[in-house]
Chains A and B, each alone.
Chain A
Amino acid sequence: MADKKQENDIGRLSFEEAIKQLTGIVARIEQGEIALQDSLEQYERGMALIKHCRTILNKAEERIEKISKEETPQDKQQQ
């Protein structure tokens, strides 16, 4: 259950947030100030973050989308 929840939470992170968390985890583990059990959990989270980042990077956006000017009344209402 906890793993599933963690995966979902990582899946929602932006690339920037994921990199930030990853950097924090690497730093904490390298400082060696956390307990062994914690470091294993952090290691798993770190690996999940790396996977998430790679997934984002591997996604190639081929098309340029054109922004159409807001002219329709629907657009105006949504503003």
Chain B
Amino acid sequence: MEPRVKIYTVGQVNSLVKAAIEEQLPPRLTVRGEISDWKHHSSGHCYFLLKDKTGVLPCVMWASRFKSVKFAPEDGIAVLATGYVDVYTIGGKYQLYLDKLEPEGIGALQLAFEQMLKRLAAQGLFDEQHKKPLPQYPMRIGILTSESGAALHDITESIRHRWHCAKLLFYPVPVQGEGAAAEIAEALREVNRRNRKLRLDVLIVGRGGGSLEDLWAFNEEVLARAIFDSEIPVISAVGHEVDTTIADLVADARASTPTRAGVVAVPDMQEVLSQLAGAERRLTGQTVARLKHARQDLTIVLAGALFRNPLWLVQNGRQQLDDAQAQLAEALRAKLDSARRLLSAGYEQVVRIEPHRLLGARTVDLNNLANRAGGAISAIVNRCRMNLTARENRLEGLNPKSVLRRGYSITSSRRTGAVVKDPADVAIGDLLVTELAGENLIESEVTNKLKRQQTDNVGRDN
């Protein structure tokens, strides 16, 4: 007899396997293995195999769970995967559904930090060439930190102790927890955008100490990028001395703690003041020395012969003049002597040619010429004299005194001395002086002012 064979459906088998798994396996288990065939689907869900020497275990991690994984899983990384095993009936396989994935050995955050470090370093974010120089004397300092933490107080006090003249501008941001990095990054971008108005010379971004988890915002890429992109130089001041964050590495300068921010960000007031005093000393010292030098130079010049005895130049000149005069006299004498010698030699020659005989003939010629010249000159003189007489006569006619000879007279007021030209020039009772020809004067008195008939004005004399 053929035993009766029970026939199962696919669904029944899968249900039985599912039930067996549920019965046999703990509802939550952690599996050690190495990541293989890692796939991060565009939906955000992750699919991979956990493998060891004996075989593989298919794994699934939903996007909602994967969000909290800080490091970047990749093939070959040894991990501890925690979740539950279930059957994927459509695929006909059982899988580990992860809610937690951690690197084995080191902490997940540590690994994440190292991965980020490697990646951003490869992109050149930490390169020295991108570091902006800090302003030497910042006057407006922006501080990005939490409003509640001690870091704000630590940073501001560390600045005030050294450099109280700076204006501090505080921008409150959350410094830990989900989204903190993005908020700090946005704050950084915002103050950069607004810096034409804010006029910040430097920015300090930081927070006090805490666990690696607490400081995590300062290791996130979004903040690293914002620090890298900042036009305003950024100083990081995160955690304790021993903590190094990605933000520290990408910042233009790093303060190991918030209380050290002042030392990094600002100069020491006392030092700057003493530098100023030094500059003042040097400036004054040099200028005074320079003046002293110039005064000494002047003294030397004044001590010279010229200024001690101003007549020196004149006396000197006088002597030179005397010398020159003597030389001149000597030279003249020499010249005269030689001329005299030449003359006497010439005289000898002239005597030798008997000049008086030549002279006789020349005298006759000369007399003739003189007679002709004399006649010509007399003619010219006579013509000129006639011209002169004619002009004299004409000129005589214009002389007012010559008019007197023709019977006219000049009347002037005794009071004013002016010639009377108008009845208004005199008053009744004024004395008049009338001048006649031949320097004769008559004195009379004005008794009346009359006007002659219009028909005859010929006799209106002056």
| B38 contacts A by Cβ under 8 Å | no
Which residues of chain A come closer than 8 Å to B272, judged between CB atoms?
57
Taking the closest CB of chain B, its distance from the CB of A37, in whole angstroms, is: 10
Chain A neighbourhood of B87, CB < 8 A: none
Distance (whole angstroms) from the CB of A73 to the closest CB of chain B: 15
Complex: A57 Cα to B135 Cα, angstroms? 16
A10 in the interface (beta carbon within 8 A): no
Contact of A67 among B135, B156, B165, B169 (CB under 8 A): B169
The verdict on A79 contacting chain B, using a C-beta distance below 8 Å, is yes
Our pick among B142, B282, B291 for the contact of A30 (Cβ within 8 Å) is: B282
- Cβ of A79: which chain B residues have Cβ within 8 Å of it? 193-194
Partner of A56, one of B165, B168, B286: B165
CB-based contact A26/B165 at 8 Å:
no
Asked if A61 contacts B283 (CB within 8 A), the reply is no
Contact A64-B170, Cβ < 8 Å, known A19-B137, A58-B165: yes
Interface residues on B, range: 35 or more
The size bracket of the interface on A is 20 to 34
B170 lies within 8 A of A67 (CB): yes
Q: 9 smallest A-B Cβ distances: which pairs?
A: A43-B287, A67-B171, A46-B283, A61-B167, A15-B137, A64-B168, A29-B286, A60-B164, A64-B170
Instruction: Give the secondary structure class of B's interface.
Output: helix
**Chain A residues with CB under 8 A of B139:** 14-15, 56
Alpha-carbon separation in the docked complex, A67 to B290 (Å) = 52
> Using a Cβ cutoff of 8 Å, how many contacts connect chains A and B?
90
Q: Is the CB of B280 within 8 A of A16?
A: no
CB distance from A14 to the nearest CB of B (A): 7
Measured CA separation A26–B294 after assembly (Å): 19
Nearest A residue to B289 via CB reads A32
Residues of A within 8 A of B190 (CB): 69-70
Q: Across the interface, do B294 and A25 meet the contact criterion of CB distance under 8 Å?
A: no
* Distance between B94 CB and nearest chain A CB, rounded to angstroms: 52
Report the minimal beta-carbon distance from B205 to chain A, rounded to whole angstroms: 13
Contact pattern, B 266-308, Cβ under 8 Å of A = 1, otherwise 0: 0001001100100110111011001100100000000000000
Per-residue contact bits, chain B 420-456, to A (CB 8 Å; 1 contact, 0 not):
0000000000000000000000000000000000000
Whether a CB of chain A sits under 8 angstroms from the CB of B172 is yes
CB contacts under 8 Å to A, within B318-358, are none
CB distance from B275 to the nearest CB of A (A): 8
Please pick, from A39, A53, A54, the residue contacting B290 in the complex, using a CB distance under 8 A: A39
CA distance A67 to B198 in the complex (A): 9
| Bound form: Cα–Cα A10–B156 in Å | 30
> Which chain A residue shows the least CB distance to B168?
A64
Question: What's the nearest-Cβ distance from chain A to residue B369, in Å?
Answer: 80
Task: Summarize A's interface: helix, strand, loop or mixed.
Answer: helix
Residues of A within 8 A of B283 (CB): 25-26, 29, 43, 46-47, 50
Docked pose: A64 CA to B60 CA in angstroms: 52
Q: Does B166 contact A (CB under 8 A)?
A: yes
Complex contacts, A25 vs chain B, CB 8 Å: 283
Which residues of A18-46 have CB atoms within 8 Å of chain B's CB atoms?
Answer: 19, 22-23, 25-26, 29-30, 32, 36, 39-40, 43, 46
Q: With the chains together, A19 CA to B278 CA distance in Å?
A: 12
Q: Per-position contact with A for B189-212: 1 when CB-CB < 8 Å, else 0?
A: 011011001100000000000000
B389 close to A (CB within 8 Å)? no
Contact flag A59-B165 (CB < 8 Å), given A19-B137, A64-B156, A67-B198: yes
A12 interface contact, C-beta 8 A: no
Residues of A contacting B143 in the complex (Cβ-Cβ under 8 angstroms): 64
Q: B276 near A54 (CB under 8 angstroms)? A: yes
Residue pairs across A and B with Cβ atoms less than 8 A apart, 16 shown, are A15-B139, A22-B276, A26-B279, A26-B286, A29-B283, A46-B279, A47-B280, A47-B283, A50-B276, A50-B279, A54-B276, A61-B165, A64-B170, A66-B169, A66-B171, A70-B190
